[in-house]
Amino acid sequence: MPDEAFRKAMVQEYARRLNAGDVEGALDLFTDDVVFEDPVGRPPTVGREALRRHLVLSVENHVEETPGESVTSMCGRFVVTPARVVLRTPAVMSLYIIGIVEFNDEGLGCHVRAFWGMTDMTVGVARHPDATAQADATRQHA
């Protein structure tokens, strides 16, 4: 069973590999039969090959994922992380996501649920990450 530190580190490592364009490295963090819901509410991506296509598309769109601080669960199975994701398609799409990764006993991600709604997406606005964090802080303390 992967411990809490392992689960939190996995999310950071996933973002690092994806942002570097290392699709095979990112895929190695998941099971062959992974179910990847991105976003939750749309048909899931199922299996390594389908996830490869999904991630290749993200890399082609210059994905830039910035995970925040994760939390876990008491059962050894989950990590939950807020993240900012920017895609350039070339229009700039910015997403705010809260994602759950469920792990198997070997520490591989077997189910991902990325929650983001139409109200969590902006198109055509390229905000600097520092400005975004500042805006969040302002909102939280308002």
Partner 1 sequence: MNRALTSERGRKDLALEHCRRVNAGDVDAILELYADRATFADPVGWNVRTGRDALRAHFEEAVAAGLREVPGEPVAGQDGMHAFIPVTAVMDYLPRGPVYAERGWLVPPADPAGKRLKRRCMLLLQIDETGLIRESQAFWGKSDLDVIG
Stretch that binds partner 1, among 11-19, 52-60, 65-73, 86-94 (CB under 8 A): 65-73
Residue 125 in the binding site for partner 1 (CB under 8 A): no
Burial 129-140 (b: 16+ CB within 10 A, else e): eeeeeeeeeeee
- Report how far apart, in Å, the C-alpha atoms of 79 and of each of 20, 37, 42, 72, 114 are: 22, 15, 21, 4, 12
Based on CB atoms, which residue is closest to partner 1, 3 or 28?
3
Residue 120 in the binding site for partner 1 (CB under 8 A): yes
Based on CB atoms, which residue is closest to partner 1, 10 or 23?
10
Binding partner 1 (rule: CB under 8 A), the pick from 47, 50, 115, 133 is 115
C-alpha span between 75 and 7 (Å, rounded)? 12
